[in-house]
């Protein structure tokens, strides 16, 4: 067996750093189907997993890949897959199954420009609303947005920890640029990496109720085959896991799977500020666009415009309080993202008309140049 | 801005050529050497689509003393060309006070840009050393000597780490060939410059 944690300094792409972050988090199962620009994650996992006692499976398509990930997780193994737009669309139904059955797993979407096959080799951030609402029904999901190889290494660990803690699929919304960009990645000693595993049940195996939540709103999860009585279905179910076809039971189940997220927003939502303290104007951005935004902040300040950045590390659930607070302290908000306005809608919602909200975006295929952001700010002030 | 900040390094470097010439590997060597060897900040972005397999290919490297926010080259300080197409496409972007590095058997400079230019028959040298495909490594050696953006030690170590197993020795010879040629070119220029001053 080789070490799962490659402690040391590396110069690696975001895709490879994502795979290494997964291994450091304890991921030991990957099922996937290759797709540009996410293929390198699968490729790297196929090299590394057998060496650390894990399993790699290339499935016949993304529907099967997502199903296999859920199955492996039910058997107690930390599991993940990685894909891009077209595959993400195919995975949507089974991501919903993961939400409904409260099965921890991590899904990486290295975004490229869509819809459909779109621009396979060129980046975008056009799947952000799909991440939020792409599967049917009303639910809560966690989605993170990494901005660099070092960032995605740690965010992948965070994704596994959150998914295990809250028993929910966690989405990592990367993009082609972060996926293929090479930078220094420092991987710490294994003892310096905090990992979290799902709470397992105690007590009588025949009395076990698999969807009976503890005080934190999350039910302990038994590994299939351990002898605990488990029943898993995508149908609306009661705390025994058995189907109950009533509006009351449905309301209870949805309250549980949304409540465990909504009641823990402070633990789940992470943001980062860049030169916001004295800012007159604030940018809200995430992923690779937050890097363009940081450059724009510096360049605007050289021209005497006090701009700052609120970087969303967690995009879903949305940082409602942070954006609302910002809308009370600055003169204008600018959302910078590679689409024609998705997270921007959330920024507008939270600003509640207190300040003008502007979008700096385009349809995808390239990053947003810092000078375009600076120009947009100048045009609107 | 303090003195340190005023002298903080920020170099944008563009390697261009045909897919298959090892342009991305050249960028990877320089980027990784700067990061892991010289402990500076560096980023590498590269051609990824079909152009990386035969068409016009490029690798973009930024080396800086401070965190690099935007990872793409906007105003190259250094343009390295191993093909005429790469030269023609990117020469309009090169800074006036920038530096142009060419394989002079493959690229014929033309047009308005008249800044500092260094040329080397990298492909011919690589052929003489036994493998034409080492032209990129000859160029990395030359680049290391004339641009002084990465240390020789870091660049050499990185060549050794990144070339295919079993080819380290010949690739290091290719690197050294380019590096020595670069040092000789620099020496010649300095001599010429001081000679001109003496005359003046």
- DSSP conformation letters of A300-314: HHHTT--EEEEEESE
Q: Which of B35, B49, B71 sits opposite A291 (nearest CB)?
A: B71
CA–CA dist A257, A237 (Å, integer): 12
Which residue carries 């949305």 as its tokens? A318
As a whole number, mean pLDDT of residues A317-338 equals 98
The answer to whether position A206 is within a domain reads: no
Q: Using CB atoms within 10 A of its CB, is residue A246 exposed (0-12), middle (13-18) or buried (19+)?
A: exposed
Q: Is the CB of residue B13 less than 8 Å from the CB of residue B95?
A: no
CA distances from A171 to A83, A182, A196, A276, B56 (A): 11, 22, 17, 27, 35
CA B182 remoteness from chain centre:
11
Q: What is the pTM of this model?
A: 0.96
CB contact under 8 A, B49 and A122: yes
Q: Which residues of B touch A9 (CB under 8 A)?
A: 35-36
Helical H segments across chain A, by residue range: 14-25, 39-48, 62-74, 85-100, 128-133, 149-166, 176-180, 247-262, 265-268, 287-302, 320-329, 343-351, 370-380
Which of A182, A291, A365, A370 should we substitute to test contact with B (largest number of B Cβ atoms within 10 Å)?
A182
CB atoms A181 and B45 under 8 Å = yes
C-beta of residue A56 within 8 angstroms of C-beta of residue A46: yes
Q: What's the average model confidence in pLDDT over B136-162? A: 98
pLDDT-derived band at B68 (thresholds 50, 70, 90) equals very high
Angle at B131 between CA B125 and CA B137, to 5 degrees: 65
Q: Is A21 helix (H, G, I), strand (E, B) or coil?
A: helix
Any domain includes A71: yes
Average confidence (pLDDT) over A357-377: 98
Whether A198 maps to a domain, the answer reads no
Domain span at residue A341 reads 271-380
Nearest of A144, A85, A95 to residue A118 by alpha carbon: A85
- Pairing outcome for strands B56-64 and B10-18: antiparallel
* Per-chain mean pLDDT for chain A: 97
Mean local confidence (pLDDT), A239-243? 96
Q: Same structural domain for residues A155 and A23?
A: yes
| A316, part of any domain | yes
pLDDT for residue B2:
43
Q: Answer whether residue A313 shows pLDDT above 80.
A: yes
Task: Return the number of other C-beta atoms located less than 10 Å from residue A6's C-beta.
Answer: 14
Interchain contact, B48 vs A182, CB within 8 Å: no
pLDDT of residue B194: 87
On chain B, the residues whose CB falls within 8 A of the CB of A291 are 69-71
CATH code of residue A311: 3.40.50.920
Is it the case that residue A180 has pLDDT exceeding 70?
yes
Distance separating alpha carbons of residues A147 and A14, to the nearest angstrom = 9
Query: Is A29 contained in some domain?
Result: yes
Phi-psi region of B197 (alpha: psi -120 to 50; beta: other; left: phi over 0): alpha
B1 pLDDT tier (thresholds 50, 70, 90): very low
**Nearest CB to A295; choose among B43, B49, B69:** B69
Torsion of CA B91, B97, B103, B109, to 10 degrees: 50
Predicted confidence at residue B8, as pLDDT, reads 86
Verify that A184 and A328 share a domain, yes or no. no
Same domain, yes or no: A172 and A61: yes
Place of tokens 């993009």: A175
Within this chain, do residues A43 and A176 fall inside the same structural domain, yes or no? yes
Which of A170, A192, A214 is where one domain is finished?
Answer: A192
Residues in CB range of B129: below 8 A, 6 or more apart? B138, B170, B173, B174, B177
Residue A284 has pLDDT above 80, yes or no: yes
pLDDT band at B6 (very low <50, low <70, confident <90, very high): low
The pLDDT value given to residue B4:
47
Structurally, how many domains does chain A consist of? 2
Say if residues A159 and A172 touch (Cβ distance below 8 Å): yes
Same domain? For A52 and A151 the reply is yes
Q: Which of B31, B46, B70 sits opposite A11 (nearest CB)?
A: B31
Q: Which of A174, A192, A210 is the last residue of a domain?
A: A192
Q: Is B166 on the interface with A (CB under 8 A)?
A: no
Q: Which CATH class is domain B3-199?
A: alpha beta
Band of the pLDDT at B198, cuts 50, 70, 90? low
Domain boundary (A171, A192, A213) is at: A192
Residues of A within 8 A of B49 (CB-CB) are: 120-122
Pick A292's closest partner by Cβ from B42, B45, B70. Answer: B70
A37 vs B contacts (CB less than 8 Å): 48
* Whether pLDDT at A74 is above 60: yes
Residue B70 to residue A9, Cβ atoms within 8 A: no
Q: Does the structure show a pLDDT above 50 at B90? A: yes
Residue A256 domain-assigned (yes or no): no
Whether B36 sits inside 8 A of A292 (CB atoms) is no
Chain A positions touching chain B (beta carbons under 8 Å): 9-11, 36-37, 120-122, 176-177, 180-184, 291-292, 294-295, 298, 367, 369-370
Query: How far B71 CA lies from chain A's nearest CA (Å)?
Result: 8
- Pair (A19, A132) in one structural domain: yes
Q: What one-character DSSP code corresponds to residue A356? A: -
Share of chain A above pLDDT 70, in %: 100
Query: How close does chain B come to A145, measured CA to CA in Å?
Result: 16
Q: B47: distance to nearest CA of chain A, Å? A: 9
* Same domain, residue pair A188 and A48: yes
Cβ contact, residue pair B48, A291, below 8 Å? no
Mutate which of B8, B40, B48, B62 to test chain A, going by most A C-beta atoms within 10 A?
A: B48
User: Does pLDDT of B7 surpass 90?
Assistant: no
A30: how many CB neighbours lie within 10 A of its CB?
29
Nearest to A11 among B32, B49, B71 (CB): B32
Give the bridge partners for A30, in sequence order.
Answer: A56, A80
ipTM: 0.94
Report CB contact under 8 Å: A291, B42: no
Of the candidates A121, A181, A183, the beta carbon closest to that of B49 is on A121
How large is the average pLDDT for residues A316-326? 98
What number of helices (H) and strands (E) belong to chain B? 7, 6
Q: Are A11 and A150 in contact (CB under 8 A)?
A: no
């Amino acid at each position: 067996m080789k070490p799962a944690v490659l402690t040391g300094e590396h110069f690696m792409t975001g895709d490879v750093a994502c795979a290494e972050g997964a291994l450091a988090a304890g991921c030991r199962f990957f099922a996937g189907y290759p797709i540009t620009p996410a293929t390198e994650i699968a490729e790297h996992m196929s090299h590394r997993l057998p060496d650390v006692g894990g399993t790699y499976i290339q499935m016949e398509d993304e529907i099967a890949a997502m199903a296999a990930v859920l199955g492996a997780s039910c058997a107690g193994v930390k599991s993940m897959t990685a894909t891009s737009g077209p595959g993400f669309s195919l995975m949507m139904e089974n991501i919903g199954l993961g939400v409904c059955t409260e099965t921890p797993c991590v899904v990486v979407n290295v975004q490229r420009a869509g819809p459909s096959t779109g621009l396979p080799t060129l980046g975008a951030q056009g799947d952000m609303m799909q991440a939020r609402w792409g599967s049917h029904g009303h639910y809560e999901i966690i989605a993170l947005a990494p901005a660099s190889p070092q960032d995605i290494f740690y965010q992948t660990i965070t994704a596994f920890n959150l998914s295990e803690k809250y028993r929910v699929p966690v989405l990592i919304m990367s993009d082609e640029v972060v996926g293929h960009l090479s930078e220094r990645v420092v991987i710490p000693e294994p003892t310096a990496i905090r990992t979290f595993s799902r709470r397992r049940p105690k007590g009588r195996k025949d009395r076990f109720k698999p969807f009976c939540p503890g005080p934190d709103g999350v039910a302990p999860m038994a590994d299939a085959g351990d002898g605990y009585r488990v029943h898993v279905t995508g149908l609306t179910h009661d705390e025994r896991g058995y189907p109950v076809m009533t509006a009351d039971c449905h309301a209870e189940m949805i309250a549980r799977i949304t409540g465990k997220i909504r009641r823990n927003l402070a633990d789940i939502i992470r943001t980062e500020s860049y030169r916001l303290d004295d800012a007159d104007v604030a940018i809200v951005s995430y992923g690779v666009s937050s890097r363009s935004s940081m450059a724009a902040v510096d360049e605007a300040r050289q021209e005497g415009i006090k701009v700052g950045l609120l970087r969303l590390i967690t995009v879903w659930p949305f940082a409602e309080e942070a954006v609302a607070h910002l809308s009370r302290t600055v003169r204008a908000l600018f959302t910078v993202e590679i689409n024609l306005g998705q997270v921007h809608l959330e920024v507008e919602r939270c600003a509640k008309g207190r300040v003008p909200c502007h979008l700096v975006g385009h349809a995808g295929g390239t990053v947003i140049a810092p000078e375009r952001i600076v120009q947009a700010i100048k045009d609107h002030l | 801005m303090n003195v340190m900040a005023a002298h903080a390094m920020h170099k944008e470097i563009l390697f261009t050529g045909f897919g298959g010439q090892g342009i991305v590997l050249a960028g990877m060597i320089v980027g990784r050497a700067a990061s892991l060897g010289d402990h500076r900040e560096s980023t590498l972005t590269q051609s990824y689509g079909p152009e990386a397999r035969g068409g016009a290919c490029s690798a973009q490297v930024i080396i800086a003393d401070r965190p690099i926010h935007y990872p793409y080259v906007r105003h190259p300080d250094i343009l390295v060309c191993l093909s005429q197409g790469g030269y023609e496409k990117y020469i309009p972007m090169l800074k006036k006070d920038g530096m142009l590095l060419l394989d002079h058997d493959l690229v014929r400079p033309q047009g308005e840009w008249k800044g500092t230019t260094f040329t080397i028959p990298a492909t011919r040298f690589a052929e003489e050393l036994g493998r034409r495909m080492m032209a990129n490594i000859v160029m990395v050696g030359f680049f290391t000597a004339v641009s002084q953006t990465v240390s020789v030690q870091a660049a050499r170590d990185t060549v050794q780490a990144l070339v295919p197993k079993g080819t380290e020795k010949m690739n290091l010879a290719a690197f050294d060939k380019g590096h020595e040629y670069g040092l000789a070119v620099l020496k010649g220029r300095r001599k010429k410059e001081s000679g001109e001053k003496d005359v003046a």
